């Protein structure tokens, strides 16, 4: 994992809030999202994450500042960005345009983006004020239907604490249905304060073994499990919790781990697990960030295997849904 | 947590048992819909799939022969005599397994030329008449239109079959007959005669230049003079053929020799009723020939079941020769017969049956109550009807049929909407009409769902299921917006709220004025809707907005051909406002001269080629004694002005405003030079793809335009909820729609705006140089009138819909928004729900039309490479449905590029 040049952030490293009180850093807004909560939704992808999962499909969301993505498909090798970069970070090596990411990922000026006439270099991450976001929501809410709303995803949507708390409050005041897709790896007081304004929570259980969890994500799972349990027990809260397990072949898809996860969910007073089969859709983003994608050769889990895992979850007395085949 | 997942789900009526894999409940698997037609229907569908479009001269010969025997007869009577003789001589063809029968010509899939409309393009290329026709501007569109090479089109001659009009196969030995017939109409056809008189319009040279340079596509008066309208089946259903003849005879007695206060056309009523009698007699003879053919087949048949079916069919036809229908299947056969009769009367595309779920309901209710028919049998008949409708071919020039229509005939059926007394019209039969479109997903009839807030939820959900079959229909049209348009435009002709509720789509998405008529069955009175207006989408055909802008920028000269089209304006275009104003002047000039010339063409049509059959069926012709040509229809203000390339133009204006006028990044001269040099790219015509993303740079161009081209592409684009560009659309619509009202049709009525591109955005884009929005030379315009240019809508479908509704759609006859959806985004019951929610929101915002194309672009690319494997694949193109293989390459390219909204 070190070879992948990811800084491992453990639970002991200080928490970095990429946002400010005025502005949040957002790397994508997706209208008509249909698999991120009930109804049709507008999904907002917030930058920054306390976890570094090796299979992450949104690696551009791991950054705490806007980051440059380079598309080799669109690049015409004209060299304009080599000339434009004041840091000498761009070079042509053996016919391949190479970016020194130790410099690029710190860059705040992105001259290479301005110089490119082919959308070969683009910036991921844009600052929004609460009012700007609310204007998007007001436009979109006609389309959500009676059940839809806003989903905050990421990254970790609650990472930008100073921005998110007032934003969530504002959504609640505006009668907007709010879903979050969270790691649950956040200080418990803040976490429980935030979900007060949330109607629906998707939260991952990536592995039940704390050490294995740390190996895979950079943090152990104790805080996560504790927070999930807190949500299950919060009788003052009128929300829904749907734990999700990203099923990564050979990583966390053993019968034992799935059964343990199901037992935990049951014990937390929750009723359902959504099993999400691994996919490789994030692969191109790794290339655009100049990173090696560790799962080039990994195939999504077999349908039969998913059925088997679904049966295990059900045998523990829970509802189990696979992928997008859900009633929401 | 205080709230239980299961409780919340239960509140919504959701089942919680979702099993992955094999044991999945029907809810998930069955809804990713793969319905099948009844076996009988599948057999006939298979015949269709293996049948080529064919043409013969049977109708053409008998019509011409009779017509020229009656020199100096009163024109309407002469025409009716010719029609009667032609109908009486059509060879009947009945196919095993059919329950609903009759065809246009003696083929499963066939048609015939009508040289009385236009004879020039039937000629072989070496023929002098054809050469003459080529010199006319109207012929040049043929060179820019391409038929799909697969499917049932005969685009090339083979063996002893000659390809004709780029689509039909005709036996070689019939060709001399065709040429002989064509020669008889030389100088006498609507085309020739109209051309003779339109040349007397002072600016005729401008019109010719407009047509030659494809600023406008197609003359109106002789190409498809009727259609884009809703037929009316009422009178034969209520009175039967004998009843109509009886009625006409009584009316003749009342009007013979009487002007009744109308000294100009009052006397014509006598001849008109006489013509109606002759035409009906012709139809009776035609039906009777089919009855005899059914009897002949019955006598020969050995299979007991088939023998009985032929016998039953013969009995139905024998009854219908004289009487009004008694049962559901008789009523269905009657409307099938009437539909084909009208289509044989004239060159017609877009004769829409209208709201058959309302029209056939009285017999449905009666037969279901009597236990005479089951819903499953009704469904089978509705599926069979789709085979008949899909087999209809339209005979016109390649430019019209390929370039505009993609071979489509637009026999659109409308469902939903309201009843006369303002209730939801979604009765049980309407559900079956909708279902049949899914179980037998053939291109015709296309379905239009007249969306109203009063429609039940499960009706809309069923519509979503039908969309999921991949058929692309139904399209959603806004009932209330249409009513507003109808009442504002036809108010002076008596349109009121009740008649407005009778409306249906005529053609692909033309709002058409209709009315209610009382039908009596078993002592009950039912009000059934039907067409009451003249053809729409006639008048001024497709004008390319980007081309008019090009002419504005280049001082009246076509930058592609170098030909002068308009008088130079010599304005320096120093401000955006000046540019906009000058553009409007050229636009108005274009509309005006086309209006005058097409008025003359249509006037020739109404003098010599007027509709008799279509006319007498439409209110209020039988009542008044006047046919279409004497304003016998209830609604006559139907002529329109059609645009093409609306959004490409909006984006181009926004780019000019931003780069030239507001930010002054480039001078107008530099921009024009770059457009003319195609931003350093090769022409789309040279590389054979018309999609922007496939275009290639010229080898010697260097990079001099790269920065400007990038800026053009980055300039604000429609479809992103960006007021900078959307306000240009709003300003334009407010001008365009109102400007149309200032021109006059030959009927002395104001025109209106019609905003559908059909397939013209491909052919007209091919004739337009690069535009300031970054679109390259020869590539297609954005399709429809409200769809974003492919790839430029970067904020998803909600932003597109927001941009589309910055203006009042009821100012226009229609608007058109096509969205392509990936199947995963509408999966399952919840997916259907989300599709309905999005549609409902667009309608509530005042959008007139939206339709969804549920395909994967990977599939489409493979289909383009391997058409033989995709004979069955259907896609939506600009407002209608067609088999993929039959679509021209330009539109295929554009479909592939259209943004997919994929669920994440």
Instruction: Copy the structure tokens of residue B315.
Output: 């009995």
Between A33-47, A128-142, B54-68, B621-635, the lowest mean confidence (pLDDT) is in A33-47
Closest alpha carbon within chain A to B829: A327
DSSP reduced 3-state for A130: helix
From chain B residues 831-890, the ones with a CB under 8 A of any chain A CB are 831, 833-834, 836-838, 840-842, 844-845
Closest alpha carbon within chain A to B697: A76
Give the integer Cα–Cα distance in Å for A236 and A197: 12
Of B651, B616, B619, the residue nearest B636 (C-alpha): B619
Q: Quick one: chain A helix, strand, coil %, rounded to 5? A: 35, 20, 45
Give the integer Cα–Cα distance in Å for B819 and B841: 15
| B796 contacts A303? CB cut-off 8 A | no
DSSP letters, B506-539, are ETTTEEE-EEEEEEEETTEEEEEEEE-B--SS-E
pLDDT digits (tens, 9 = 90+) for B415-473: 999 999 999 999 999 999 999 999 998 889 999 999 999 999 999 999 999 998 877 78
Mutate to test the interface with A, among B3, B4, B5 (most CBs of A within 10 A): B5
- Residue B510 annotated in active site: yes
On the question of pLDDT at B743 being above 90, the answer is: yes
**What does the pLDDT read at residue B139?**
46
| A239 contacts B828? CB cut-off 8 A | no
B160 contacts chain A (CB < 8 A) = no
Smallest Cβ–Cβ distance between A39 and the set B14, B721, B834 belongs to B834
pLDDT digits (tens, 9 = 90+) for A224-279: 999 999 999 999 998 999 999 999 999 999 999 999 999 999 999 999 999 998 88
**What does the pLDDT read at residue B443?**
86
Q: What percent of chain B has pLDDT over 90?
A: 70
B680 contacts chain A (CB < 8 A) = no
Predicted ipTM of the assembly = 0.87
Rg for chain B (alpha carbons), in Å? 27
From chain B residues 714-753, the ones with a CB under 8 A of any chain A CB are 721
Q: Which residues of B touch A321 (CB under 8 A)?
A: 18, 20
Q: Please give the C-alpha separations between residue B768 and each of B455, B675, B678, B706, B780, in angstroms, as whole numbers.
A: 43, 10, 11, 21, 9
Of A131, A128, A152, A136, the residue nearest B802 (C-alpha): A136
Contact B741, B648 (CB under 8 A): no
Instruction: Copy the structure tokens of residue B168.
Output: 């039909």
Closest alpha carbon within chain A to B706: A117
Give the integer Cα–Cα distance in Å for B70 and A155: 84
pLDDT digits (tens, 9 = 90+) for B127-146: 544 444 445 555 455 555 55
Q: Where are the beta strands (DSSP E) in B54-166?
A: 54-55, 110-111, 161-164
Instruction: Copy the structure tokens of residue B625.
Output: 């004694």
Give the integer Cα–Cα distance in Å for A258 and A207: 8
Q: Which helix (H) or strand (E) holds A276?
A: strand A272-277
**What does the pLDDT read at residue B16?**
59
B31 contacts chain A (CB < 8 A) = no
| Helical packing angle, B328-345 and B268-300, nearest 10° | 120
| A145 contacts B833? CB cut-off 8 A | yes
Average pLDDT over all residues of chain A:
90
Of B643, B657, B810, the residue nearest B723 (C-alpha): B657
Query: What number is the average pLDDT over the span A290-318?
Result: 91
pLDDT digits (tens, 9 = 90+) for B49-59: 888 889 999 99
Smallest Cβ–Cβ distance between A31 and the set B4, B703, B799 belongs to B799
Give the integer Cα–Cα distance in Å for B645 and B620: 37
| B3 contacts A327? CB cut-off 8 A | no
Confidence bin at B882 (pLDDT 50/70/90): low
The dihedral sign for the CA sequence A174, A176, A181, A187: positive
- Residue B246 annotated in active site: no
CA dihedral B585, B590, B591, B592 (to 10 degrees): 80
Closest alpha carbon within chain B to A148: B834
Confidence bin at B221 (pLDDT 50/70/90): confident
**What does the pLDDT read at residue B35?**
85
Instruction: Copy the structure tokens of residue B835.
Output: 């599709």
- The single residue of B216, B508, B597, B737 carrying the catalytic annotation is B508
Q: Which helix (H) or strand (E) holds B17?
A: none
Smallest Cβ–Cβ distance between B3 and the set A43, A240, A327 belongs to A240
Contact A243, A270 (CB under 8 A): yes
Q: Please give the C-alpha separations between residue A249 and each of A134, A297, A301, B199, in angstroms, as whole numbers.
A: 40, 11, 6, 77
- Beta carbons within 8 Å of B228's beta carbon, 6+ residues apart: B349, B350, B410, B506, B507, B508, B510, B512, B535, B536, B537, B538
Query: What number is the average pLDDT over the span A128-151?
Result: 95
**Pairing relationship of beta strands A96-99 and B226-230 according to DSSP bridges:** unpaired
Distance from CA of A14 to the nearest CA of B (A): 30
- Beta carbons within 8 Å of A96's beta carbon, 6+ residues apart: none
Give the integer Cα–Cα distance in Å for B443 and B464: 17
Smallest Cβ–Cβ distance between A40 and the set B20, B21, B838 belongs to B838
DSSP letters, A157-193, are GGG-HHHHHHHHHHHHHTT--EEEEE---S-HHHHHH
CA dihedral A12, A18, A24, A27 (to 10 degrees): -100
* Ordered domains of chain A (ranges, CATH): 2-65+125-322 (3.20.20.70), 67-124 (3.30.70.20)
Between A72-81, B637-646, B819-828, the lowest mean confidence (pLDDT) is in B819-828
Q: How many CB pairs under 8 A join A and B?
A: 142
**Pairing relationship of beta strands B818-821 and B900-901 according to DSSP bridges:** parallel
Give the integer Cα–Cα distance in Å for B133 and B629: 27
Q: How far apart are the first and last CA of chain B?
A: 28
Smallest Cβ–Cβ distance between A237 and the set B2, B703, B834 belongs to B2
Give the integer Cα–Cα distance in Å for B414 and B479: 11
Give the integer Cα–Cα distance in Å for B575 and B619: 52
Q: B694-709 in b/e burial notation, b at 16+ Cβ within 10 A?
A: ebebeeeeeeebbebb
Q: Which residues of A touch B903 (CB under 8 A)?
A: 32-35, 324
Q: Please give the C-alpha separations between residue B498 and each of A1, B378, B528, in angstroms, as whole numbers.
A: 72, 29, 12
B50 contacts chain A (CB < 8 A) = no
A324 vs A140, residue with greater confidence: A140
Q: Go through chain A and tell me how many residues it has.
A: 328
DSSP reduced 3-state for B824: helix
B28 contacts chain A (CB < 8 A) = yes
**What does the pLDDT read at residue A8?**
39
**What does the pLDDT read at residue B803?**
98
Between A181-190, B194-203, B395-404, B438-447, the lowest mean confidence (pLDDT) is in B395-404
Contact B530, B560 (CB under 8 A): no
Closest alpha carbon within chain B to A78: B703
Q: Which residues of A touch B828 (CB under 8 A)?
A: 324-325
Q: Where are the beta strands (DSSP E) in A18-143?
A: 23-33, 41-46, 67-70, 90-93, 96-99, 121-124, 126-129
Give the integer Cα–Cα distance in Å for B852 and B408: 18
Q: Where are the beta strands (DSSP E) in B245-347?
A: none
Q: Which residues of B touch A269 (CB under 8 A)?
A: 1
Contact A59, A167 (CB under 8 A): no
Confidence bin at B31 (pLDDT 50/70/90): very low
| A143 contacts B5? CB cut-off 8 A | no
On the question of pLDDT at B307 being above 90, the answer is: yes
B796 contacts chain A (CB < 8 A) = yes
- The single residue of B345, B510, B630, B733 carrying the catalytic annotation is B510
B11 vs B195, residue with greater confidence: B195
Query: What number is the average pLDDT over the span A168-181?
Result: 96
On the question of pLDDT at B711 being above 70, the answer is: yes
DSSP reduced 3-state for A244: strand
Contact B355, B504 (CB under 8 A): yes
pLDDT digits (tens, 9 = 90+) for B337-389: 999 999 999 989 899 999 999 999 999 999 999 999 999 999 999 999 999 99
Give the integer Cα–Cα distance in Å for A292 and A274: 29
Contact B479, B450 (CB under 8 A): yes
Contact B108, B391 (CB under 8 A): yes
Query: What number is the average pLDDT over the span A136-155?
Result: 94
Distance from CA of B612 to the nearest CA of A (A): 48
Contact B569, B182 (CB under 8 A): no
């Amino acid at each position: 994992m070190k070879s992948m040049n990811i800084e491992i952030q453990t639970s002991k490293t200080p928490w970095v809030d990429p946002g400010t009180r005025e502005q949040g850093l957002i790397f994508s807004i997706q209208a008509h999202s249909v698999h991120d909560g009930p109804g049709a939704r507008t999904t907002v992808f917030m930058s920054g994450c306390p976890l570094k999962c090796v299979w992450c499909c949104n690696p551009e969301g791991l950054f705490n500042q806007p980051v440059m993505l380079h598309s080799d498909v669109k690049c015409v090798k004209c060299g304009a960005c080599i000339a434009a970069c004041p840091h000498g970070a761009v070079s042509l090596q053996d016919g391949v345009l190479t970016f020194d990411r130790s410099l690029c990922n710190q860059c705040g000026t992105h001259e290479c983006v301005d110089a490119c006439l082919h959308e070969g270099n683009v910036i991921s991450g844009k600052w929004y004020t609460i009012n700007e976001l609310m204007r998007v929501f007001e436009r979109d809410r006609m389309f959500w239907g009676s059940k839809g709303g806003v989903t905050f995803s990421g990254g970790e949507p609650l990472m930008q604490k100073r921005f998110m708390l007032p934003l969530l409050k504002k959504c609640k005041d505006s009668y907007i249905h709010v879903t979050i897709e969270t790691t649950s790896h956040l200080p418990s007081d803040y976490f429980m304060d935030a979900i007060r304004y949330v109607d629906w929570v998707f939260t991952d259980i990536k592995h039940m073994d704390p050490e294995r969890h740390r190996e895979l994500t950079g943090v152990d799972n104790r805080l996560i499990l504790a927070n999930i349990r807190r949500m299950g027990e919060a009788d003052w809260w009128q929300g829904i919790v749907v734990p999700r397990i990203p099923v990564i072949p050979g990583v966390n898809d053993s019968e034992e781990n799935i059964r343990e996860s199901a037992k935990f969910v049951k014990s937390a007073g929750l009723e359902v697990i959504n099993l999400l089969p691994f996919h490789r859709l994030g692969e191109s983003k790794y290339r655009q960030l100049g990173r090696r994608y560790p799962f080039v050769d990994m195939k999504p889990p077999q349908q039969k295997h998913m059925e088997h895992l679904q049966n295990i979850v059900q045998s523990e007395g829970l509802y189990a849904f696979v992928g997008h085949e859900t009633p929401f | 947590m205080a709230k239980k997942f299961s409780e919340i789900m239960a509140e919504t009526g959701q089942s919680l048992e979702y099993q992955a894999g094999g044991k999945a409940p029907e809810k998930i698997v069955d809804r990713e819909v793969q319905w099948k037609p009844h076996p009988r229907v599948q057999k006939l569908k298979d015949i269709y799939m293996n049948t080529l479009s064919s043409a013969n001269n049977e109708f053409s010969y008998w019509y011409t022969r009779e017509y020229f025997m009656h020199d100096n007869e009163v024109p309407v009577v002469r025409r009716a005599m010719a029609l009667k003789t032609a109908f009486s001589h059509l060879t009947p063809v009945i196919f095993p397994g059919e329950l609903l029968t009759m065809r246009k010509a003696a083929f499963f899939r066939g048609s015939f030329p009508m040289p009385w409309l236009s004879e020039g393009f039937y000629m072989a290329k070496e023929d002098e008449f054809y050469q003459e026709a080529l010199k006319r501007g109207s012929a040049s569109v043929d060179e820019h239109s391409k038929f799909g090479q697969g499917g049932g089109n005969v685009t090339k001659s083979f063996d002893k079959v000659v390809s004709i009009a780029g689509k039909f196969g005709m036996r070689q030995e019939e060709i001399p007959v065709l040429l002989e017939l064509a020669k008889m109409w030389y100088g006498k056809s609507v085309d020739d005669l109209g051309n003779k008189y339109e040349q007397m319009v002072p600016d005729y040279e401008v019109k010719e230049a407009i047509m030659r340079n494809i600023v406008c596509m197609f003359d109106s008066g002789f190409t498809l003079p009727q259609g884009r309208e809703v037929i009316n089946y009422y009178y034969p259903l209520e009175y039967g053929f004998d009843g109509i003849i009886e009625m006409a005879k009584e009316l003749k007695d009342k009007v013979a020799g009487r002007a009744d206060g109308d000294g100009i056309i009052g006397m014509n009523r006598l001849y008109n009723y006489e013509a109606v009698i002759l035409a009906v007699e012709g139809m009776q003879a035609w039906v009777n020939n089919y009855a005899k053919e059914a009897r002949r087949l019955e006598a020969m048949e050995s299979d007991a079941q088939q023998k009985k079916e032929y016998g039953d069919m013969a009995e139905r036809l024998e009854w219908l020769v004289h009487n009004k229908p008694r049962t559901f299947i008789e009523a269905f056969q009657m409307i099938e017969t009437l539909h084909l009769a009208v289509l044989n009367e004239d060159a017609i595309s877009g004769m829409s049956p209208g709201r058959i779920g309302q029209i056939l309901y009285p017999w449905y209710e009666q037969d279901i109550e009597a236990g005479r028919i089951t819903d499953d049998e009704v469904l089978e008949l509705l599926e069979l009807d789709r085979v008949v409708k899909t087999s209809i071919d339209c005979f016109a020039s390649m430019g019209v049929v390929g370039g505009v229509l993609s071979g489509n005939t637009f026999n659109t059926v409308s469902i939903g909407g309201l009843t006369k007394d303002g209730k939801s019209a979604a009765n049980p039969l309407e559900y079956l009409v909708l279902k049949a479109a899914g179980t037998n997903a053939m291109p015709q009839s296309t379905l239009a769902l007249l969306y109203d807030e009063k429609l039940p939820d499960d009706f809309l959900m069923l519509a979503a299921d039908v969309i999921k079959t991949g058929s692309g229909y139904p399209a959603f049209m806004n009932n209330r917006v249409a009513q507003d348009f109808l009442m504002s435009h036809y108010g002076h002709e008596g349109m009121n709220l009740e008649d407005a509720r009778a409306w249906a789509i005529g053609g692909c998405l033309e709002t058409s004025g209709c009315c209610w008529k009382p039908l009596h069955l078993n002592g009950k009175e039912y009000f059934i809707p039907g067409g009451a207006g003249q053809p729409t989408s006639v008048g001024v055909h497709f004008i390319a907005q980007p081309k008019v802008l090009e002419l504005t920028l280049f001082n009246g000269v076509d930058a592609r051909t170098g030909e002068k089209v308009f008088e130079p304006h010599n304005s320096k275009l120093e401000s955006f406002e000046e540019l906009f104003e000058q553009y409007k002047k050229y636009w108005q000039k274009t509309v005006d001269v086309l209006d005058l010339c097409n008025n003359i063409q249509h006037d020739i049509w109404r003098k010599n080629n007027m509709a008799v059959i279509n006319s007498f069926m439409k209110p209020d012709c039988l009542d008044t004694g006047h046919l279409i040509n004497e304003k016998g229809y209830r609604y006559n203000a139907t002529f329109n002005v059609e645009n093409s390339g609306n959004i490409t133009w909006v984006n181009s204006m926004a780019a000019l405003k931003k780069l030239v006028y507001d930010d002054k990044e480039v001078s107008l001269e530099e921009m024009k030079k770059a457009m003319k040099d195609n931003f350093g790219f090769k022409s789309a015509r040279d590389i054979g793809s018309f999609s922007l993303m496939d275009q290639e740079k010229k080898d010697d161009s260097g990079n001099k335009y790269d920065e400007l081209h990038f800026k053009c592409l980055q300039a604000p684009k429609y479809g992103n909820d960006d007021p900078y560009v959307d306000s240009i659309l709003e300003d334009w619509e407010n001008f365009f729609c109102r400007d149309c009202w200032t021109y006059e049709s030959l009927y002395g009525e104001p025109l209106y705006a019609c905003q559908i591109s059909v397939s013209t955005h491909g052919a007209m884009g091919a004739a337009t140089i690069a535009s300031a929005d970054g679109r390259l030379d020869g590539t297609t315009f954005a399709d429809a009138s409200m769809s974003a240019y492919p790839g430029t809508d970067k904020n998803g479908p909600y932003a597109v819909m927001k941009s589309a509704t910055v203006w009042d759609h009821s100012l226009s006859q229609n608007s058109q928004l096509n969205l392509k959806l990936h199947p995963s985004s509408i999966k399952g019951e919840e997916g259907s729900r989300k599709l309905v929610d999005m549609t409902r929101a667009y309608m509530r915002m005042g959008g007139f039309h939206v339709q969804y194309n549920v395909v994967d672009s990977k599939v489409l690319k493979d289909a383009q490479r391997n058409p033989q494997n995709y004979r069955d694949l259907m896609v939506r193109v600009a407002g209608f449905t067609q088999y993929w293989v039959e679509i021209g390459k330009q539109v295929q390219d554009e479909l592939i590029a259209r943004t997919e909204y994929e669920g994440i």
